[in-house]
Every structure is written in C-alpha cells, then in structure tokens.
Amino acid sequence: MLFKQQALLRQKLFVLGSLAIGSVLYLVARVGTLDRLQPICPVDSRLSAPEPEQIPLRTLQFKRGLLHEIRKGNATKEQIRLHNLVQQLPQAIIIGVRKGGTRALLEMLNLHPAVVKASQEIHFFDNDQNYARGIDWYRGKMPFSFPHQITIEKSPAYFITEEVPERIFKMNSSIKLLIIVREPTTRAVSDYTQVLEGKERKNKTYHKFEKLVIDTNTCEVNTKYKAVRTSIYTKHLERWLKYFPVEQFHIVDGDRLITDPLPELQLVERFLNLPSRISQYNLYFNATRGFYCLRFNIVFNKCLAGSKGRTHPEVDPSVVTKLQKFFHPFNQKFYQITGRTFNWP
C-alpha cells in the first residue's frame, strides 16, 4: 500500500515538474522573440515621418520589374494607364564622345532608381532622315517612365555633328548635356581599334594606325583623319557653346570611370540634381573582364558587352609622342573652358 502511494506521488511530481519546465521554456522563447522583434519596428521609427524625396525612389525600386516588362512588350495598356507611365523627351543627353565611355556611363547611371535610359542610340538629331520624322517620332523611341523619373539617351555622334546643337536647343534650351572624355591619343587608338575589328570580321584589310594618323606628305598629324578630329574636344565644344551656356555641360572623366567609377557617378548625380543613391555596393570589379560590373540588387548583376575593353594594337612610341604634342594646346583650352583639368600629357 505504501509502495503504491509513493509511486503515485512520484508520478504527480513528474507531471508538475514537466509543466514548470515547459512554462519556463515558453517564457524564454517568448522573451527572445520579443527581443528579436523590437529592433525591426521600434515605436519611434513608426512615429517619425519618412523623408519626402525618398518615397518615390523606394516606390520606383519596387516597380523596376514593371518597366522591364514594358520594355519587353509584355505590359498592357491598362497597366500603363494605371501606373501613370509616360514616354518623356530626355531631360539629359550623353552627347559624346565616341570611345570615351558613353555606354558605360549610361548603364551606370541606370543604376539610379530615378533614371530611365533609352537602350539604343536613337540618332535623331544627327540623322536628317530621322530628324525629318519629327519630335513625336523621337518621343516614341523613349522608354516608358514614371513622371518624376528622368529619361537619358546617348548618341556620341551628336558631339561632332554640326547641325545637332541647334536642333537640340530648339527641342529644349535648358537640357543638361553630358560629355565623357578620355585622354585624346588613347581615345583615337580606341576608335581605330573598333573600326579595325569591324574590318577584320568582314575579312577586309585596313591600314596601320600610324599610316592613317600621320600625313605622309608633310609628316605631320593628319587632321583629315576622323579619329584625330574627334579628339580635338575644344573645337566641337566651342560650336555647342554658341547655343548653351557652359553650366549646362558636365564633363565626365572616362579614364577615371574605368578605374574608380563611383566618384564620377556621384558628380553626375549632383549635376542632374538627383539624390545620391548609387553606392559602392552597386559596382564590383570583375578581374576576368578587367573592369567594373553593375549590381542592381542581390539577384541581378550586369557586365558590359564583351566588345568593351578591346586590346589596343601596339603603336610606334614616336607617333604617340607626336599626337600628344599635337593635342596639348587643344587640351589646355579645353581645361580653361570647362574648368576641369586632367592629367593628360
């Protein structure tokens, strides 16, 4: 009888002990959960008002997918209407310079949630046939965007084409103009390299760079060669300054954009009156390609096409020196006009 009573008592104590331990474990887990939840949504952050300018930018980041679907042609007219999407004329244009880094600049600026880019070069202002189609045709080539985004297009031929400054002025006299430049001799060699590659793909022969860039009759720099003329930046800029004040231009260092892009992009953000949103997180160096690639988010990364960063041919050092001396006075004038100095020879 005593044995049965002792067994029953031990059973009751076991049940009570289990309940007590379970209660303690629940309380510990509950407190731990509350501790973890507290920092996520503190009371003061719920009460404080968000910065007004950040609201549309956050919204745009979530709606990038919709714009992507529109570019692919998958969005309906109803979606476009509901989201108040429009095709805007560009508020900024990358007008040049060819082989200065115009594509890289456009793609990097597209990291900003308030920027929408025209994917293809439109060639509206430098092509008479396109220009004759009118401004509505041009607008129709622009991507859909939200009203508070800015649209940017790039066509590097604009910088060197005589009719373009006046035509752009007639469209928008207050437009912002971006010019990305590289050291003039390096840019000329890069220009030659692109043409050479195109010739080789078609199994065509092409002169050596030295033969094109030096006039064999005078032994001086051949200014009739387009790659040389394009690198005389000040000559082209002076034509633009007949229509636009220098304050509407921003000069981007194309050489620095290759080696250290973030500071250059931050300068462009300020020029375009955009809040600073592009960070080092968005740019990572790809050792295989030898230049920076773009990180839009944790899922989507993008590198420029494999045609970027072509290997340049070896050029006779004496020709390089002659070109550098030729460009030097033009470079000095370019620094004076733009207020930006480069470490060019």
| pLDDT at residue 26 greater than cutoff 70 | no
**What is residue 52's predicted lDDT score, i.e. its pLDDT?**
34
Cite the active site residues.
Answer: 99
Residue 65 included in any domain: no
> What pLDDT, in 10s, does the model give residues 56-69?
454 555 455 555 55
User: 325 by DSSP, 3-state: which?
Assistant: helix
Task: With respect to residue 52, please indicate whether it lies within any of the assigned structural domains.
Answer: no
Question: Is 58 a member of any domain?
Answer: no
Q: How far apart are CA 248 and CA 93, in angstroms?
A: 11
pLDDT tens-place string over residues 233-271: 999 999 999 999 999 999 999 999 999 999 999 999 999
Mean residue pLDDT of the chain comes to 83
* Count of structural domains within the chain: 1
pLDDT at 46: 30
Q: What are the structure tokens assigned to 83, written together? A: 């989201």
Least confident of 54-58, 106-110, 179-183, 212-216: 54-58
* pLDDT per position as a tens digit, 173-197: 999 999 999 999 999 999 999 999 9
pLDDT score recorded for residue 289:
77
Q: What is the Cα–Cα distance from 192 to 186, expressed in whole angstroms?
A: 10
Please report the DSSP string for 183-245 in residue order: -HHHHHHHHHHHHHHHHHHTT-----HHHHHB-TTT-SB-TTSHHHHHT-HHHHHHHHTTTS-
The whole domain housing 266 covers 87-183+229-308
At residue 17 the predicted structure's pLDDT band, cuts being 50, 70 and 90, is low
Q: Which residues are annotated as a binding site for 3'-phosphoadenylyl sulfate?
A: 99-103, 182, 190, 292, 308-312
Is residue 330 assigned to a domain?
no
Which of 3-7, 44-48, 284-288 shows the lowest mean pLDDT across its residues? 44-48
For residue 167, what is the DSSP state? Answer: H
Say what the pLDDT of residue 309 is. Answer: 64
Contacts for 173 with CB less than 8 Å, ≥ 6 apart: 243, 244
In a domain, 127, yes or no: yes
Predicted local confidence at residue 151, as pLDDT: 98
- The letter for the amino acid at 160 is I
Q: Is residue 6 part of a domain?
A: no
pLDDT for 13 beyond 80: no
276 inside domain: yes
Binding residues: 99-103, 182, 190, 292, 308-312
Asked if residue 281 is part of any domain, the answer here is yes
pLDDT tops 50 at residue 55:
no
- Non-local (6+) Cβ contacts of 239 within 8 A are 162, 165
Residue 164's CATH number: 3.40.50.300
Q: Read off the pLDDT of residues 279-336 as tens digits, 9 standing for 90 and up.
A: 999 999 988 878 899 998 887 888 887 656 678 899 999 999 999 999 999 999 999 9
Residues whose CB falls within 8 Å of the CB of residue 241, separated by 6 or more in sequence, listed in order: 337
pTM for the whole structure: 0.78
Specify the pLDDT at position 166: 98
Q: What is the pLDDT of residue 301?
A: 86
Pair of tokens at residue 85? 């999407």
Confidence of residue 142 (pLDDT cuts 50, 70, 90): very high
Average pLDDT (7-20) is 50
* pLDDT tens by residue, 149-158: 999 999 999 9
